[in-house]
């Protein structure tokens, strides 16, 4: 049996045990996700079409890998105006293995991953429970244990907070939009990662370029082009 599903704004023809790369889903590797938008299903020439989706039909899939697609470069040039723009994009992808094609409201044999809304509600419930526990009177021993746990919680929060890739230097930042290919959005993204001057861009090593390529939506070729332009601008300062 096969099914035609819709996810991430695209349609796919799938069957059990098929490996498929789709737009990123919020799920961990090994979790089961449910895809409820089934446009059609059938076997051989017997095909049932939905309007637009088939009632009671659902496809479940196991998350195999979270990754990125290859970098796509968009280049635009205006003749006789000395204007060029080069932007790279790496789409986030999720590799899944189709587990089951369920019809007539059948339930999956494996439990699906919790939806973001459900996770948020669980987190709120945990916070409320902790607030009630803190408000309740405690014995001196319990208070000491709570105080001992507080530094550990603060350290955990500090570790989970995302740190910038580079340390921003002191002083006034440069206008990175002067560099061809860097617009206001790209300049803001670079500033958030600690890159604010021409000198920083000019001194980027190949290892730094690889780090930016991995963690930011810019390709290695883009960054190297910016580095060469930054070298010339840094000399003029």
Predicted pLDDT at 109:
82
Indicate the average pLDDT of the chain.
82
Q: Higher confidence at residue 167 or residue 112?
A: 167
pLDDT in tens, 148-179: 565 555 554 444 346 788 888 888 889 989 89
Predicted pLDDT at 145:
58
Residue 139 pLDDT > 70, yes or no? no
Contact 193, 201 (CB under 8 A): no
Classified as helix, coil or strand, 146 is helix
Q: Is CATH 3.10.450 what the domain over 176-236 is classified as, yes or no?
A: no
The candidate with the shortest Cα–Cα distance to 186, out of 72, 76, 89, 84, is 89
Length reported for the chain: 237
Secondary element (H or E) of residue 147: helix 140-160
Instruction: State pTM to two decimals.
Output: 0.44
Contact 45, 88 (CB under 8 A): no
Cβ–Cβ contacts within 10 Å for residue 76, how many? 9
> Could you tell me how many helices (H) and strands (E) the chain has, helices first?
6, 10
pLDDT in tens, 2-16: 999 999 889 999 999
Percentage of the chain surpassing pLDDT 90?
27
pLDDT in tens, 203-222: 899 989 888 888 888 888 88
pLDDT in tens, 10-65: 999 999 999 999 999 988 999 999 998 999 999 888 899 998 899 999 999 999 99
Cβ–Cβ contacts within 10 Å for residue 45, how many? 5
Q: Higher confidence at residue 128 or residue 231?
A: 231
Predicted pLDDT at 146:
55
Q: What share of the chain is helix, strand, coil (3-state, %, to 5)?
A: 35, 30, 35
């Amino acid at each position: 049996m096969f099914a035609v599903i819709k996810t991430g704004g695209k349609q796919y023809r799938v069957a059990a045990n098929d490996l498929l790369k789709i737009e990123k889903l919020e799920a961990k590797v090994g979790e089961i996700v449910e895809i409820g938008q089934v446009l059609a299903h059938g076997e051989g020439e017997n095909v049932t079409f939905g309007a637009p989706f088939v009632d009671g039909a659902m496809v479940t899939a196991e998350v195999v890998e979270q990754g990125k697609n290859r970098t796509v470069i968009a280049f635009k040039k205006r003749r006789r105006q000395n204007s060029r723009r080069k932007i790279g994009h790496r789409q986030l992808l999720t590799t899944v293995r189709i587990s089951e094609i369920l019809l007539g409201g059948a339930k999956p044999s494996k439990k699906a991953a919790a939806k973001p809304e459900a996770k948020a509600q669980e987190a709120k419930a945990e916070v409320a429970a902790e607030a009630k526990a803190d408000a309740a009177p405690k014995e001196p021993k319990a208070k000491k244990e709570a105080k001992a746990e507080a530094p550990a919680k603060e350290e955990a929060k500090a570790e989970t907070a995302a740190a910038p890739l580079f340390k921003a230097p002191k002083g006034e930042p440069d206008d990175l939009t002067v560099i061809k290919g860097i617009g206001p959005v790209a300049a803001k993204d670079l500033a958030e990662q600690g890159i604010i001057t021409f000198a920083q861009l000019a001194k980027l090593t190949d290892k730094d370029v690889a780090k930016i390529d991995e963690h930011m939506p810019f390709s290695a070729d883009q960054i190297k082009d910016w580095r060469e332009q930054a070298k010339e601008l840094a000399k003029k300062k």
